[in-house]
A and B are shown apart, each in its own frame.
Chain A
């Protein structure tokens, strides 16, 4: 099992450790998942995300390479911009969902999920052609996520407000020094709140963690585990690979169609077009206090038409059970359905608008400083 440089730090904080994509990661700390979730919504959560994968891709044919491999409108990207993308297979299934960073037209970074990174690298290499060089910097790279409405203040304390004031959503600063550590600072995240994904040399991760914890003490910084990360992303309307999206699930009819740009030719496009109108993904809220369970069947008008792909609590929505469903029938917000689990228990549920929770992620940076 892989460990991040912060494993002992997590243990010292009373973390319950679990396996995630081959990594021993903190699920929650002594604080508890509910409080970690709420701290991220109201103040600032700090997450160890060193397990995720990073690839640097360079060369004069890289733009064509990305246009072939990724789904979003990459040609329109500018230097210093990040963009959410699907990397699809020929069947339109999601090899991985990822964030592409553009340093320049010939220099990029792709950030991918932990459990899928080996397959992703193989997929990239399989399609490598012309002047495209791929370097796996994952093992050399640490990553900390700082998320929540006081996160900008924490970073501003280390670098000054001026450096941050103009940083927009899905833009990044390629090089900035935080607490003596040279970092890439990206205004992105997986929680729906304003915040940053911060990349650093792996052996300086602990130094960065300590600097952020110290700067954040007066702003309510709270170490948060993967449990809170999951409930936060669900409310923020974001998918988890292997649940809402995956290699065998065509990425059509999802709330993440915004990441698919049909104006360019990419692997999987034909399959997506062929599967339009056949698959759908919706967020749901379940009545009562019990969760139906992952893979519970979705029944609409007496007909089974899908299943639950994520099943957790919407902590910020009065702790109601919530989740995503994948269906073969088209539904709309407000539609009623029944979720039936393996034990035969039935739960009344309702289709909701995505996202369930509108956080601070898109607000102007200077309103937080």
Chain B
């Protein structure tokens, strides 16, 4: 049984993204440890641009791995206010080693706080991982 890190202070999606409440209706977005271990080595990230308007559940960015291209679904509708290109353009594989820290993707100013509240809690996400049997 593989062990995955699931921090307590984040909320999660069924498609293995996380969101962190930064206050002031701003949220930081990334992918989970489970996702990072399953997609393999990340080689490139196509990030959204600052001021991009992203709807809930539309692809927010693309992660290229050795084998595949993975869409990252934006879980909180709003406007992109920051992206992590400074780190990820130089060192995309940090997503594999530190998905909750330096491997974050972008920050979004939410239209409404409801999208964040609707995401899964740590307990709910851990239950999902258990159901995936891995």
A positions within 8 Å CB-CB of B: 16, 27-28, 32-34, 37, 227, 230-231, 289-291, 293, 312-313, 315, 319, 321
CB of A259, distance to nearest CB on chain B (Å)? 26
Please give the residue numbers on chain B whose beta carbons come within 8 Å of chain A beta carbons, in ascending order. 2, 37-38, 40-41, 43-44, 46, 62, 64, 66-69, 93, 96
Distance of B60 from chain A, by nearest CB (Å):
15
Whether the Cβ atoms of B40 and A33 lie closer than 8 Å is yes
Bound state CA distance, A227 and B37, in angstroms?
13
Q: Given A16-B37, A27-B40, do A32 and B96 touch, yes or no (CB 8 Å)?
A: yes
Given the known interface contacts A34-B66, A312-B66, the answer about A289 and B44 at a Cβ–Cβ threshold of 8 Å is yes
Q: Which A residues are CB-close (under 8 A) to B46?
A: 289-290
Q: Is the CB of A290 within 8 A of B62?
A: yes
Chain B residues whose C-beta falls within 8 Å of the C-beta of A227 in the assembled complex: 40, 66-67
A-chain residues with CB within 8 Å of residue B2 when the two chains form the complex: 16
Q: 9 closest pairs, A vs B, by CB?
A: A289-B44, A34-B41, A32-B41, A33-B41, A313-B66, A33-B66, A33-B40, A319-B43, A291-B69
Q: How far is the CA of A227 from the CA of B41 in the complex (A)?
A: 10
Asked if A34 and B93 make an inter-chain contact with CB atoms under 8 angstroms apart, the answer reads: yes
| Nearest CB in chain B to that of A313: its residue | B66
Distance between Cα atoms of A27 and B44 in the complex (Å): 20
Complex Cα gap A347–B11 (Å): 36
| Cβ–Cβ contact A230 & B41, under 8 A | no
Q: Interface on chain A toward B: helix, strand, loop, or mixed SS?
A: mixed
Kindly list chain A residues whose C-beta atoms are within 8 Å of the C-beta of B43: 34, 289, 313, 319
Query: What is the CA–CA distance of A231 and B96 in the complex, to the nearest angstrom?
Result: 19
**Bound Cα distance A293, B96 (Å):** 22
Whether B64 and A289, one on each chain, are in contact in the complex, defined by CB atoms closer than 8 angstroms, is yes
Q: Nearest Cβ distance between residue A52 and chain B, in whole angstroms?
A: 21
Q: What's the Cα separation between A321 and B93 when bound, in Å?
A: 16
Q: When the two chains form their complex, are residues A16 and B64 in contact, meaning their CB atoms are under 8 A apart? A: no
Q: Which residue of A lies closest to B1 (CB)?
A: A11
Question: With A33-B40, A34-B41, A313-B66 given, can you name 20 additional A-B contacts, CB distance below 8 Å?
Answer: A16-B2, A16-B38, A16-B40, A28-B41, A32-B40, A32-B93, A34-B43, A34-B66, A34-B93, A37-B66, A227-B40, A231-B67, A289-B44, A291-B64, A312-B66, A312-B67, A313-B43, A313-B67, A315-B66, A319-B43
- In the docked arrangement, what's the CA distance between A34 and B93, Å? 10
Nearest chain B CB to A45 CB, angstrom units:
15
Complex: chain A residue closest to B40, CB-CB: A33
Query: Looking across the interface, which residue of chain B has its beta carbon closest to that of A32?
Result: B41
Residues of B within 8 A of A33 (CB): 40-41, 66-67
Q: Which residue of B lies closest to A31 (CB)?
A: B41
User: Contacts of A32 on B, CB cut-off 8 Å?
Assistant: 40-41, 93, 96
In the assembled complex, the CB of B64 is this many whole angstroms from the nearest CB of chain A, namely: 6
Distance in Å: Cβ of B100 to nearest Cβ of chain A = 18
CA A293 – CA B67 in complex, angstroms? 9
Complex-state Cα separation, A27 to B96, whole angstroms? 15
Give Cα distance in the complex from A227 to B39, angstroms.
11
The 9 listed contacts between A and B (C-beta, < 8 Å) are A32-B40, A33-B40, A34-B93, A227-B67, A231-B66, A231-B67, A290-B44, A290-B62, A293-B69
Q: Which of A230, A231, A293, A319 has the most CB of B within 10 A?
A: A319
In the assembled complex, the Cα of A56 lies from the Cα of B101 at a distance in Å of: 54
CA distance A28 to B44 in the complex (A): 18
Residue of B nearest to A289 (CB): B44
